[in-house]
């Protein structure tokens, strides 16, 4: 009860001291949902896949919804230092984000290029998207385009790289986005989000477009994370006042909003119009924000997310997200078609975990440490000049 009373009186200054370990665990779970979703794409034309896709079991491989959770979570987490007594200057913020995001991203591009160089070739799986990955020998222009985040073929080496391009580009705009969201009424902001995302689609939807411009929908998802941070005391007070069953209901409602729109698409078995599709992402984003709010509150869900296994998966989340496609396409190009591929699921999951541990130790952790050093040095230098 004491812990619950503290949450109902939560204020931003108190929350800033919290690492939100439970949110790291959620990120780790989402990374593995994406990893499992990529494996199951090999059977997306089978009858049993369609049945599972229309059942609650869809949560296990709902990769698109997991990406939406990543974007909302990034908006929330990046808001924490921005609202402190000494928010980072723009230069220090960009340097830290460059080390945190881009350096592992570039290392992932190099590793994917290496695999593609030795194993490229046409593979006929049940999924045309997977067939495009490592289909031809990588060119210097393709690799340079990936490193510069300007290529229109972001699925040629690693199908998840487009999401990191979104993260990188939104990071450049994030301080401005944070400033705008904090100064616009929530009702007006949500209305603008709906109009930009659904009523006025500015561009055709597609992964290749993300190499040039950021979709308003994805910017809106980051804005939802900022809104959640800004209104977290009120949200926490509301969740703290309701009963245990009420909090379980809030958690289930959040999951329904997160997973429901694309699950409905699976039930209808027809393509969703572009404008509705964009609005569906906004509904999923609201569900993701609700899920984050429920995870922060004391109780069984938060306790579950503090389990040591999930905490470790959370620490490895970025490495897992970057490395699992490389392990998958290594196995596909070596073994697909020679025997039932589902035999390799344990090999895939174990290999993805092992490679993630190695990447985390030798690339991800050093990048984070470097970002902290250069960001702190840049911040101190800017303050000294003023």
Distance CA 29, CA 45 (A): 26
119: Cβ contacts below 8 Å, ≥ 6 apart: 134, 329, 330, 333, 334
Residue range 73-102: mean pLDDT, rounded: 91
Least confident stretch, 87-101, 110-124, 176-190, 318-332: 176-190
Q: CA angle at residue 77 from 152 to 328, to 5 degrees?
A: 45
pLDDT at 65: 94
Quick: pLDDT tens for 140-189.
999 999 999 887 777 899 999 999 999 999 999 999 999 999 888 877 77
Distance CA 22, CA 298 (A): 10
139: Cβ contacts below 8 Å, ≥ 6 apart: none
pTM: 0.89
Quick: pLDDT tens for 268-298.
666 666 556 667 888 999 999 999 999 999 9
Q: What is the CA radius of gyration of the chain?
A: 21
Distance CA 217, CA 199 (A): 11
- Residue pair 323/339 in contact (Cβ under 8 Å)? The answer is no
Distance CA 303, CA 312 (A): 15
Quick: pLDDT tens for 297-322.
999 999 999 999 999 999 999 999 99
Distance CA 289, CA 279 (A): 15
pLDDT at 17: 42
Residues in the chain: 386
Distance CA 50, CA 318 (A): 29
pLDDT at 243 over 90: no
89: Cβ contacts below 8 Å, ≥ 6 apart: 378, 379, 382
Residue range 93-97: mean pLDDT, rounded: 93
pLDDT band at 210 (very low <50, low <70, confident <90, very high): very low
Quick: pLDDT tens for 17-51.
446 999 999 999 999 999 999 999 988 767 777 77
DSSP per residue, 360-376: IIIIIHHHHHHHHHHHH
336: Cβ contacts below 8 Å, ≥ 6 apart: 42, 123, 125
More confident residue, 374 or 170: 170
pLDDT at 361 over 90: yes
> Of 211, 97, 100, 67, whose CA–CA distance to 146 is shortest?
211
pLDDT band at 379 (very low <50, low <70, confident <90, very high): low
Distance CA 170, CA 155 (A): 20
């Amino acid at each position: 009860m004491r812990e619950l009373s503290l949450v109902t009186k939560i204020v931003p200054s108190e929350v800033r001291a919290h690492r939100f370990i439970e949110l790291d665990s959620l990120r780790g779970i989402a990374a593995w949902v994406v990893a499992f979703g990529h494996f199951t794409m090999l059977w997306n034309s089978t009858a049993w896949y369609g049945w599972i896709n229309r059942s609650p079991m869809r949560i296990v491989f709902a990769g698109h919804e997991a990406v939406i959770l990543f974007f909302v979570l990034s908006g929330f987490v990046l808001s924490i230092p921005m609202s402190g007594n000494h928010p980072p200057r723009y230069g220090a913020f960009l340097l830290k984000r460059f080390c945190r995001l881009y350096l592992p991203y570039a290392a992932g591009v190099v590793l994917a290029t290496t695999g593609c160089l030795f194993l490229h070739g046409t593979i006929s799986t049940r999924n045309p998207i997977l067939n495009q990955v490592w289909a031809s020998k990588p060119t210097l222009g393709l690799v340079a385009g990936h490193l510069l985040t300007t290529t229109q073929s972001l699925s040629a080496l690693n199908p998840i790289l487009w999401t990191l391009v979104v993260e990188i580009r939104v990071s450049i705009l994030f301080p401005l986005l944070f400033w705008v969201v904090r100064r616009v009424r929530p009702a007006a902001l949500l209305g603008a989000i709906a109009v930009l995302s659904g009523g006025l689609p500015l561009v055709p939807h597609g992964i290749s477009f993300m190499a040039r411009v950021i979709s308003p929908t994805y910017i809106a998802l980051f804005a939802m994370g900022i809104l959640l941070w800004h209104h977290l005391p009120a949200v926490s007070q509301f969740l703290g006042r309701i009963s245990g069953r009420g909090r379980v209901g809030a958690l289930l409602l959040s999951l329904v909003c997160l997973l429901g729109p694309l699950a409905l698409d699976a039930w209808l078995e027809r393509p969703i119009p572009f404008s509705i599709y964009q609005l569906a992402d906004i509904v999923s984003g609201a569900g993701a924000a609700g899920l984050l709010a429920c995870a922060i509150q004391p109780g069984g869900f938060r306790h579950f997310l503090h389990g040591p296994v999930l905490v470790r998966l959370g620490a490895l989340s970025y490495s897992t997200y970057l490395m699992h496609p490389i392990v998958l396409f290594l196995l596909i190009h070596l073994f697909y078609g020679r025997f039932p591929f589902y035999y390799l699921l344990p090999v895939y999951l174990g290999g993805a975990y092992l490679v993630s541990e190695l990447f985390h130790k030798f690339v991800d952790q050093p990048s984070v440490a470097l970002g902290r050093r250069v960001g702190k040095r840049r911040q101190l230098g800017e303050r000294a000049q003023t």
